[in-house]
Amino acid sequence: MSAAIITHNLTRRFGDKIAVDGLTLEVRVGEVFGFLGHNGAGKTTTVRLLNGVLEPHAGKAYVLGLDPLADGPALRARTGVLTESAALDARLSGRENLLVYADLFGVPQRQSDSRVSELLDFFGLSDSADLKVAAYSTGMRQRLALARTLLHDPELLFLDEPTAGLDPLAARQTHRLIAALARQKGRTVFLCTHNLVEAQRLCDRVGVMERGRLVAVGTPTELAARYVQQVQVEIEIAAEHIEAAIELLSHASGLLTARPQPSADQAPGGPLGALSLRVTGREAIPDMLALLTRHGVRVYRLTPHEPSLEDVYFALHAGAAEPSQQEHTR
Ligand SMILES: Nc1ncnc2c1ncn2[C@@H]1O[C@H](COP(=O)(O)OP(=O)(O)O)[C@@H](O)[C@H]1O
Ligand SMILES: [Mg+2]
């Protein structure tokens, strides 16, 4: 079986509020799957449904081939969950925290010492292993919490906002560790986040949740191709040609906007100028370049910007905010 998680029409309400609305999703073994969405989109509720902590009102879920409700204990023995507010015991040392949990997770006693040391090492906590957690920074606590989810060597990890509240340096360190877990140790990761840079950096595929509904799924590149209809292109030409270039490009097909940009660089023949273009797609670029060249405008540099997940996210939300451009029949 190559699916780690399969859900079909998974639905959960709280009162008359629908938190997860007909979620149908497949997460593959070995991938880092990003589950994106604003606060309140339904990410944490989904994780709880997938772990059998919460009962669905409709639909089914299979996680590692098991039914989370019927096979909860068997499933939890094979999954690790980092919840949004992972509680550690601040009165105990980092090592003691892990040993207590190793015991709780049923790691055999003769293995737990070496397992704990190995994890402390992997997470860069060996030097502070015997300090009380009360003295740990937020980043260290989060790394310890992450280490704790791995004690029983789970195949599938659920990480719910693993870098929320971390400073950029600690967040980056956590990113490296998550990437290492996935790539070197081949674990499947279900990563909930509202941090798009994090998702772009770590995820093989992402799903975007909006008010309980899954509105898009794919690799970041697929989503960009599907939802971002514009490409931003920066070009550098001789400063004296800027006006002429804007005039020429205004007749080119595919141009949306052209704006002059400041540029401090020098070309052999004089000062360089820069233009920032928005075009309808990459296929518009070669003709524009040819047009400029044909009219004696020498192009020193041309840089198309790959659309990011952030662009995808805003494209999806622009659709929701501008019903006049979309069919909105709901
Ligand atoms: N235990 C609960 N009781 C009532 N409402 C809840 C509960 N858990 C979540 N919700 C509601 O369900 C929606 C989805 O929440 P959640 O899954 O926590 O979103 P996310 O993790 O994406 O921020 C929100 O509107 C939230 O207020
Ligand atoms: Mg949440």
Q: pLDDT tens-digit profile of 126-174?
A: 999 999 999 999 899 999 999 999 999 899 999 999 998 888 888 898 8
**pLDDT tier for residue 221 given thresholds of 50, 70 and 90:** confident
Which atom of ligand 1 lies at the shortest distance from residue 20's CA?
14
Last residue of a domain, which of 180, 202, 226? Answer: 226
What Å distances lie between residue 61 and 55, 69, 265, CA to CA? 10, 9, 57
Mean pLDDT of the chain: 90
Distance from residue 20's CA to the centre of ligand 1 (Å):
9
Span 216-222, average pLDDT: 92
- Is 291 a domain residue? yes
Kindly state the DSSP code that residue 38 receives in the 8-state scheme. Answer: -
Q: What is the pLDDT of residues 169-204, one digit of tens each?
A: 888 988 998 998 888 878 999 999 988 889 999 999
Number of domains in the chain: 2
Using CA of residue 123, residue 124, residue 129, residue 133, what is the dihedral sign?
negative
- Is 325 a domain residue? no
CB of 30 within 6 A of ligand 1: the answer is no
Distance from residue 39's CA to the centre of ligand 2 (Å):
6
My answer on whether 276 and 151 are in the same domain is no
> For residue 288, what are the domain limits?
229-305
My answer on whether 264 and 212 are in the same domain is no
Nearest CA residue ID for atom 8, ligand 1: 45
My answer on whether 257 and 182 are in the same domain is no
CB of 185 within 6 A of ligand 1: the answer is no
CB of 42 within 6 A of ligand 1: the answer is yes
- Is 317 a domain residue? no
Span 88-111, average pLDDT: 93
My answer on whether 244 and 162 are in the same domain is no
Alpha helices in the chain (DSSP H): 43-50, 72-76, 94-104, 109-122, 138-149, 168-185, 196-202, 220-227, 242-249, 285-294, 309-321
My answer on whether 55 and 131 are in the same domain is yes
- Is 242 a domain residue? yes
My answer on whether 255 and 140 are in the same domain is no
How far from the centroid of its chain's Cα atoms is residue 39's Cα?
A: 14
- Is 324 a domain residue? no
My answer on whether 181 and 196 are in the same domain is yes
My answer on whether 147 and 215 are in the same domain is yes
pLDDT at 85 over 90: no
My answer on whether 107 and 200 are in the same domain is yes
Distance from residue 215's CA to the centre of ligand 2 (Å):
17
Span 209-223, average pLDDT: 94
**The domain that contains 235 carries what CATH number?**
3.30.70.60
Last residue of a domain, which of 210, 226, 242? Answer: 226
Which atom of ligand 1 lies at the shortest distance from residue 39's CA?
23
Nearest CA residue ID for atom 11, ligand 1: 19
